[in-house]
Chain A
Amino acid sequence: MGMRHGGPKRDNGTVIPARAFIHEREFAEAVQKVEQKLRASGSVIRIRHELDYDSTGDPAVYFRIVMPDSSLTKDNLLRATDDVANALVEDLHPQERWGVYPYFRFRSQSGQEAMQEPSWA
């Protein structure tokens, strides 16, 4: 787990880590299950994630989602990305079960091939 924004918000000096931070492997397995389901339906190519604190110090999960080029056309962009985000939220319950706020970024398959960014690979 990295430190994107400088660490957790503190109340009274005590920080209780989010469940996803404590059970990182179980969280990763849960993400993988949703990824498998979404891959089988052709909605995503792959899903990567990173646990960290967001810019206001709240525990967060950052999803990096590679999608087929055909899904990310301008007409379909909002619907396709919302469908994937909704599926992740409904299946994982990141806030209620794991104590992390979900953030999403999306990239097309050809976009990732052009960028070759390791964190999306």
Chain B
Amino acid sequence: MAFADELLDLARRIADLDGANPGQAVLRRAVSTAYYALFHLMVGEATANWSQSELRPLLGRVFEHGKMKQACTKFAGGDDSIPPFERRATPTDHLRAVARRFIQAQEQREDADYDVGALWRPEDADTQIERAKDAFRSWMAIRHLPDAQKFLVLMLGARERKRSA
């Protein structure tokens, strides 16, 4: 099982640790782990393109949360809605879903890890885990397509140049 899949599985297992009445620490770790599953999915997919496998972990250290969010914002589709997975008809639909899920997960992770004033409920953790799973499904549907590969490159913080006609 790939590291990202392990993390997603772990998020679910953490959320279920305390049964029906989980504590705040458990819920926060589940939310945070769901984000890191998505984070490492993207990093793993991007670095897998590097032919010298022993350098992939080092390349992975180049990724930054803020730059990854900026890349996601470009692909997130503004105020368009996300269709359910079975009605995502185009690669753009899938990429938009991945980008939106990533942005939401990153912000939830920030709150789960650092905002000790906010309380969490099991449904919070469940929602984040389900959204991360949904992003994984959409990513798997498009991962080899050119736009998906471009998305990975932009997540490194690359800036696109505007080309004149």
Contact = CB atoms under 8 A, between A and B. Distances in A.
Interface in B98-123: 103-104, 106-108, 110-111, 115, 119, 121-123
Contacts of B110: 5, 54-55
Helix, strand, loop or mixed for chain B's interface? helix
Helix, strand, loop or mixed for chain A's interface? mixed
B66 to A, nearest CB: 5
A95 interface: yes
Contacts of A79: 84
Contacts of A74: 126
A54 B115 CA distance: 12
Nearest to B84: A79
Contacts of A104: 104
Contact of B106 (A55, A81, A82): A55
Nearest to B106: A55
Contacts of A107: 121, 123-124
A28 B70 CA distance: 27
A91 B144 CA distance: 34
Given A5-B110, A96-B79, A115 B121 contact: yes
Contacts of A95: 78-79
Classify chain A: how many residues form its interface, as a range.
Answer: 20 to 34
Contacts of A106: 123-124, 127
Contacts of B84: 78-79, 82
A105 B134 contact: no
A90 interface: yes
B69 interface: yes
A72 B81 contact: no
Interface of A: 4-5, 54-56, 60, 72, 74, 77-79, 81-82, 85-86, 89-90, 92-96, 101, 103-108, 111, 115, 117
Interface of B: 65-66, 69-70, 73, 78-82, 84, 103-104, 106-108, 110-111, 115, 119, 121-124, 126-127, 130-131, 134
15 contacts: A54-B110, A55-B110, A56-B70, A77-B126, A78-B127, A79-B84, A81-B127, A86-B82, A89-B79, A90-B81, A95-B78, A103-B104, A105-B124, A111-B121, A115-B121
